[in-house]
């Protein structure tokens, strides 16, 4: 014979069921919190590795001849050319050596309003940028905001010499 099923109205059975549901929800919440923490930690490690790699590449150049060889730069001004929307003048400096300045003329992709917006935000916020050359493209460069994955890719048209 099978034992009789407990009545739904049995207070002890209802209380036990509620406690089981609360425990399952709590354990699920803790697991989601742990997973989010691990994902955030992996992102921070990835960004830190990008910054370290960029710095290691830059220290290999003892006397930089271009602003793209600097370990870090700040945008002092961003000037979009009104007659040529993809052309932008960037006045940059090297924070460690304030007298080191350069002006870069870069070409953004046509219709790329996001890059110009990011450059303007970085300029206004005095963000620290890591410049790098994009090999495989003639004159390609990438500016990445340090401690972030935000990037702007462009083609370097010309640069006045740092100094």
Please tell me the distance from the alpha carbon of residue 86 to that of residue 112, in angstroms, as a whole number: 8
| Residues 115/152, Cβ–Cβ less than 8 Å | yes
Q: Is 163 exposed, middle or buried (0-12, 13-18, 19+ CB in 10 A)?
A: exposed
Please tell me the distance from the alpha carbon of residue 3 to that of residue 72, in angstroms, as a whole number: 75
pLDDT in tens, 69-90: 888 888 999 988 887 668 899 9
User: What is the DSSP secondary-structure string of 2-21?
Assistant: PPPPPPTT-HHHHHHHHHHH
- The pLDDT assigned to 109 comes to 81
Tokens coding 152: 């702007």
- The pLDDT assigned to 63 comes to 74
Domain residue ranges of the chain, discontinuous segments joined by +: 1-60, 67-159
Please tell me the distance from the alpha carbon of residue 66 to that of residue 151, in angstroms, as a whole number: 19
- The pLDDT assigned to 136 comes to 63
pLDDT surpasses 70 at 162: no
- The pLDDT assigned to 65 comes to 75
pLDDT in tens, 15-62: 888 889 999 999 999 999 999 999 999 988 888 888 777 777 766 666
Compute CA distances 66 → 8, 52, 162, whole Å: 78, 20, 6
Tokens coding 101: 């300045």
Tokens coding 16: 């036990």
Please tell me the distance from the alpha carbon of residue 54 to that of residue 6, in angstroms, as a whole number: 67
- The pLDDT assigned to 137 comes to 62
């Amino acid at each position: 014979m099978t034992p009789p099923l407990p009545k739904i109205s049995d207070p002890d059975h209802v209380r036990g069921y509620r406690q089981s549901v609360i425990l399952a929800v709590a354990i699920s919440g803790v697991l989601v919190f742990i997973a989010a923490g691990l994902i955030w930690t992996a992102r921070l490690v990835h960004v830190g590795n990008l910054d370290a790699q960029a710095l290691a590449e830059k220290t290999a150049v003892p006397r930089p001849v271009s602003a793209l060889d600097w370990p870090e730069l700040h945008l002092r001004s961003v000037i979009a050319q009104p007659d040529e929307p993809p052309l932008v003048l960037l006045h940059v400096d090297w924070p460690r050596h304030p007298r080191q300045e350069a002006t870069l003329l870069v070409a953004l992709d046509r219709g790329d309003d996001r890059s110009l917006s990011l450059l303007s935000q970085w300029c206004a916020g005095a963000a620290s940028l890591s410049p790098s050359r994009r090999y495989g493209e003639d004159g390609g460069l990438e500016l990445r905001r340090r401690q972030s994955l935000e990037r702007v890719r462009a083609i370097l048209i010309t640069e006045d010499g740092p100094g």
